[in-house]
Structure 1
């Protein structure tokens, strides 16, 4: 890549959200580059390593993948449909909530979504980006100078790139967010997430189960066959003892935590550990930089909200930019940035608040939070219209979806 290369849009970051926005903009005919360390390796042949991390994508996100040409493709055979979602109060609290089961058949629209291996998803999106003509640049962004009509990015390869507008998908420590002058609110949870997968002798019947424990959710999500992935929130002091268990010991522990619901557990993968934090940008766009994914917001893995919100970021950002270019308007203007900020804030802020409240109600010793959670779950169980509204909101957020997610 030569110094002074010019693009309509530069995307920093090659996670699912960054790659999805790059693909959408390339489909719209934009000159686009996607920058990330090791990005070219994402299109290399994949190894057959066991699945550890998966992502549960709801139907709007699946429709986005179809728009990008990667669904069903090679993704569906390695993924599992989410037909049932069950929440189990396993806190042993004085006021425990009833078990609530949500069935996609009540909505008549097929499964809620699909559980997809994360590495496979990124691999297929990277292939789609390359095929669509996205320029893939193996580098890191050192900084960005933002002018009246242009952004100039400096890379660690000493190259410089120019763009009319920039999409920051470079994670929670985003360099582009910093250089755009966008501050954040950050907080930490006294939790670490363990991510792994395992086999089991009983069928999961397409059911994801979220066991609410005093350390946070213990969530099993179906994979093809008699396999499931797991995200287990534990206290930080419990991480080392759990990770020190042998495979057989860990399998027995998981079986105990699930009360034997999936039968005999075996073939447990080594856990990946992720410290739990929260973050919210005070603006989602400013100075020709639009934030998507964890550059904009970070939430605990509860209710499959994180990546689904991030993909909506990506689709909204691509739609706003491509529409502006089609109308010969400035895609990095203050007006566009303000409109994007307003649209995404209406979606992200209430969801982030709901996830935070649910998580804190589990790990807190404050009695009214436990009582409030129990009352809320009881209402969901016994008021059918409220339960249906909750299912629809989880799948298809209130308000307009970006075009790429409408099917």
Structure 2
């Protein structure tokens, strides 16, 4: 299949899989499912072009398996010009704790890798994925889903134009307020941290040299992530709501001065800062990853604090794993939305999602606690990482690789 198959006002369409949500994880899922031979419809408003999405200050730190996934989907080549390699992750204890952890640097070269992954602006990533989907693969419907009804054989999605899509499987990639999840009757566990987060970018006088630095402090962290310009970095600043509210109220000069105070001389003088966006820090897990002809992907299934570059990478693994399950179901002549396929998907994703969700939650809570035993335990662990290279390499591999086998589309091409 090739060519633009965008349908602005469809009437009635039938397909194997309807993917709902045109964010990075949803588009990647649609491309992966089309790649394995499924008849796919991708439903969601067309993402804004990067030139008109200047207020989207977020970037995505994609780990090596996610980069391999984009290569298999023929998307990576279009992103290389805006991708910055992440060669070193440095952690600095900037707290006032009585038991402070030593600074530690995780180096990709210690694993014989050129980089742990690459940092890419979200708008550019989404635009490249959507351009690939437009050129080849799924049918695109630039509408929203108003209602989903299920029966024994299919799901019927009613669109905002009153057109319908009938699918054997719904891939819900429609975010934390997922219509797909609600229609499938899947419950969630939701929690909030007493934190806010700010995403921005800034220019600095000293080259970042591919180093991402995490400053861990009371109430949160401040993380700098390299951008393609060696004198520009992305920023995620997590703090108490009062702190982030005050920072959002600052003018550019005040914000830049506050950032300089936090960074010290790490990147030299901060010369300017870009647009800022803020959001609350929260967590969500779906109690089932698949049910009632629906498989959940990305933030429809799991939301976690923006720590350790886990969120989108986890969602992309959801997408690739679903493609594997659907491919096997179709090869066996089975229903891709039937109980067997949904059970296989849920089992394939359960351990990875659980381990990442729990791990990020524990790390974030360890920054919030004032309990001296917890601070001491964290300090001892970090000291051990600093002193023992084999333990440090093990932790790096755990961060890069899921506890279960990678989906086939995420394995390096032979």
Residues 248 and 266 of structure 1 are in contact (CA less than 8 Å); yes or no, is this contact kept in structure 2? no
1:301 is matched with 306
1:352 to 2:357 alignment: yes
Question: Structure 1 unaligned runs (5+)?
Answer: none
Question: Structure 2 unaligned runs (5+)?
Answer: 1-8
1:33 to 2:41 alignment: yes
1:379 is matched with 384
Distance (Å, rounded) in 2 between the aligned partners of 1:368 and 1:4: 61
1:88 to 2:96 alignment: no
Note the C-alpha offset of 1:270: 2.1
Residues 182 and 286 of structure 1 are in contact (CA less than 8 Å); yes or no, is this contact kept in structure 2? yes
Distance (Å, rounded) in 1 between the aligned partners of 2:316 and 2:193: 24
1:6 is matched with 14
Residues 27 and 132 of structure 1 are in contact (CA less than 8 Å); yes or no, is this contact kept in structure 2? no
Among 96, 101, 108, the residue aligned to 2:105: 101
Change (3 A) 1:177 1:84: same
1:338 is matched with 343
- SS of the residue aligned with 1:189? strand
Distance (Å, rounded) in 2 between the aligned partners of 1:292 and 1:2: 24
**1:225-258 deviations in whole A, cap 9, x for unaligned?**
2100000001111223212222122112111101
Residues paired across the two proteins, number: 403
Residues 50 and 269 of structure 1 are in contact (CA less than 8 Å); yes or no, is this contact kept in structure 2? no
Q: Which moved more, 1:24-33 or 1:288-297?
A: 24-33
Distance (Å, rounded) in 2 between the aligned partners of 1:336 and 1:24: 16
Residues 190 and 235 of structure 1 are in contact (CA less than 8 Å); yes or no, is this contact kept in structure 2? yes
RMSD: 1.5
Residues 56 and 304 of structure 1 are in contact (CA less than 8 Å); yes or no, is this contact kept in structure 2? yes
After superposition, residues 173-252 of structure 1 pair within 5 angstroms as 173-224=177-228, 225-252=230-257
Among 375, 380, 397, the residue aligned to 1:392: 397
Distance (Å, rounded) in 1 between the aligned partners of 2:384 and 2:187: 38
**1:1-44 deviations in whole A, cap 9, x for unaligned?**
443310111000011110001011122232211111x32x54x5
Note the C-alpha offset of 1:281: 0.5
Distance (Å, rounded) in 1 between the aligned partners of 2:145 and 2:265: 48
Distance (Å, rounded) in 1 between the aligned partners of 2:143 and 2:373: 50
Note the C-alpha offset of 1:47: 4.1
Among 121, 141, 146, the residue aligned to 1:142: 146
Q: Which moved more, 1:390-399 or 1:310-319?
A: 390-399
Among 312, 321, 324, the residue aligned to 1:316: 321
Residues 56 and 277 of structure 2 are in contact (CA less than 8 Å); yes or no, is this contact kept in structure 1? no
1:257 is matched with 262
Change (3 A) 1:147 1:109: same
TM-score, normalised relative to structure 2: 0.94
TM-score, normalised relative to structure 1: 0.96
Distance (Å, rounded) in 1 between the aligned partners of 2:96 and 2:78: 42
Q: Runs ≥4 in structure 1, deviation > 4 angstroms?
A: none
Among 241, 265, 272, the residue aligned to 1:267: 272
Residues 284 and 341 of structure 1 are in contact (CA less than 8 Å); yes or no, is this contact kept in structure 2? yes
Distance (Å, rounded) in 2 between the aligned partners of 1:389 and 1:24: 30
Note the C-alpha offset of 1:194: 0.1
